Amino acid sequence: MSKVYIISVFAENKPGRLERVTKVLTEANINILAFSITSTNGFGVIKFMVNKCKEAYDLLKEKGFTVSLNEAIGIEMKDQPGGLYEVVKILSSKGINIESASVYVAETRKRAYLIVEVDDTSKAMEALSGEPLKFLNPEEIQ
Amino acid sequence: MTGAERGDILQNSMTYGLFTGAFVMHYGAEKVGILVIPAGPGNTERQINLMRDFGTTMLHITPSYALYVASVMQDKGINPRKDLKLKRAYLGAEPYSEETRRKIEDMLGIDIYNCYGLTEMNGPGVGFECKYKQGLHIWEDNFLMEVVNPETGEPVPEGEIGELVLTTLNREAMPLIRYRTRDLTRIIAEPCKCGRTHRRITRILGRSDDMFIVKGVNIFPQQIEQVLMSIKGVAQNYQIVLDSYDDMTVKVEIDKEIFDGKIDRLIKMKEEIIEKIRSATLVKPKVELLEPGTLPVSEGKAKRVIDNRTI
């Protein structure tokens, strides 16, 4: 089981911010696989999982964005009713709290991944190692 | 009095031109036998190159610009302790807090000394800190100093805060008598450890005219600055915006280095800023967290307060 990486970008909640970030990724031919926005009074954090994580992180940093690279776990779900439930049931039984989550749909109506950031990635992975779960391998998304 | 001597190299990053700040320091340094690089403000990359190429040992610079130069060095991966020969800097022309001094000292690995002066009194050098950095000695053989209540004009008891009033003692042709500086400070009458008998004043606490009033409370920008500089995760630049008499908005840039992708931490930081400003000023501010580089960069005197109130 390997970790995947999420890129987080700090942004003020103003028109054009998401555009600026995605423009950089577009020009570098980087594909966004999953993304989420959390916003609270005036500012927010945009999170991406992309095919070339390290490259995207370095690029955004170089362009002056406030950015961080965070570890995450990708867990396979069936893209059908109950798919998310089956996965989070196991997470909660292990006492793993999700700090942020997004979804990567690998094959529509078949296979998707729940991408979660948790408090302690290594510990969570250890706790989940014996469970009947399939994890996203970073090589699959490159 | 700060250890500067013949052989030092001073990079003068104050504005030359119709501002006495740069010239007085320039000629003073030359008199001591110090090489002066008349860099002027701005063009930060060139400033850093000059420091490296000439082996600059001392800077004369405004606090807000010093912070900016230091942050550019960080971004460019320059370690001033290793890559440069800086020993000390003279800061003046703007009021700034003790926290800011320590922050710049730490970022650049140098000693910083406060310098006070005003064009009407021939520029900088009216008061200067000695190596103990505990207030500025006023050259009392040159200037007669008083501290008065800015509203009544009456002298305040020694040691109390008020407006500094100066009279030139040796200037010919255009002596000034009881010139009101609008600068707020208090006199430190106790003898200084350095042995000089000229009395000291505290760092300038503000201007009697840059104080602003919100919800009936008198607030100085330095109070806000002091709070901001004490909070981890806050970058150097900030701005106070006043849109009504009941609200103040403090815009703060976050420090790139502390961003770890977690929104909770930012929310906590914002709450901490609000709470600390409230306890320092009694007014609960609105706080906006901004991306680094959003606020205008100061290359001279920083404009910290934007007052949009019309009445």
Question: Which member of A43, A65, A70 has the closest CB to residue B261?
Answer: A70
B259 and B276 both lie in a single domain = yes
Segment B26-64, tens digit of pLDDT? 999 999 999 999 999 888 999 999 999 999 999 999 888
Q: For chain B, which ranges sit under pLDDT 70?
A: 298-301, 310-311
| Min Cα–Cα distance to chain A from B100, Å | 23
The confidence score (pLDDT) of residue A1 equals: 66
**Nearest in space to B15 (alpha carbons), one of B48, B43, B53:** B43
CB contact under 8 A, B291 and A117: no
- Other C-beta atoms closer than 10 Å to the C-beta of A90 total 16
B157 and B260 both lie in a single domain = no
**B207, B229, B250 - which closes a domain:** B207
Whole-angstrom distance, CA of residue A123 vs CA of residue A108: 31
pLDDT: which is higher, B296 or A74: A74
The confidence score (pLDDT) of residue B311 equals: 57
B2 and B105 both lie in a single domain = yes
Question: Which member of B260, B263, B289 has the closest CB to residue A38?
Answer: B263
Provide the CA B267 distance to its chain's centre, in angstroms.
29
Domains of chain A: 4-70 (3.30.2130.10), 72-141 (3.30.2130.10)
B266 contact residues in A (CB cutoff 8 A):
10, 43, 45
B237 and B123 both lie in a single domain = no
B14 and B66 both lie in a single domain = yes
The confidence score (pLDDT) of residue B41 equals: 87
**B88, B104, B129 - which closes a domain:** B129
| ipTM summary value | 0.80
Residue B163 to residues B104, B171, B176: CA-CA distances in angstroms? Answer: 27, 22, 16
**B145, B180, B207 - which closes a domain:** B207
Cβ contact B59:B9 at 8 Å:
no
The confidence score (pLDDT) of residue B123 equals: 86
B144 and B159 both lie in a single domain = yes
% residues pLDDT > 70 (chain B): 98
Q: How confident is the model at residue A140 (pLDDT cuts 50, 70, 90)?
A: confident
A136 secondary structure, DSSP code: -
Res A88 pLDDT > 60: yes
B140 and B218 both lie in a single domain = no
Structure tokens at A4: 């995947």
By the 10 Å C-beta count (0-12 exposed, 13-18 middle, 19+ buried), B179 is classed as middle
Question: Which member of B256, B262, B291 has the closest CB to residue A11?
Answer: B291
Helix (H, G, I), strand (E, B) or coil at B67: helix
Helix (H, G, I), strand (E, B) or coil at B304: coil
Q: Which of B241, B256, B264 should one mutate to test binding to chain A, selecting the residue with the greatest count of A CBs within 10 A?
A: B256
B125 and B139 both lie in a single domain = no
B119 and B31 both lie in a single domain = yes
B40 and B163 both lie in a single domain = no
* Pairs of residues, one from chain A and one from chain B, whose beta carbons lie less than 8 Å apart: 49
B155 secondary structure, DSSP code: B
CB contact under 8 A, B288 and A12: yes
The confidence score (pLDDT) of residue B21 equals: 86
B186 and B296 both lie in a single domain = no
What's the number of domains chain B is made of?
Answer: 3
The confidence score (pLDDT) of residue B17 equals: 84
Res A26 pLDDT > 80: yes
Whole-angstrom distance, CA of residue B20 vs CA of residue B151: 29
Start-to-end C-alpha separation, chain B: 47
B10 and B116 both lie in a single domain = yes
Question: In the predicted model, what is the mean pLDDT of residues A70-90?
Answer: 92
| Structural domain harbouring B302 | 212-307
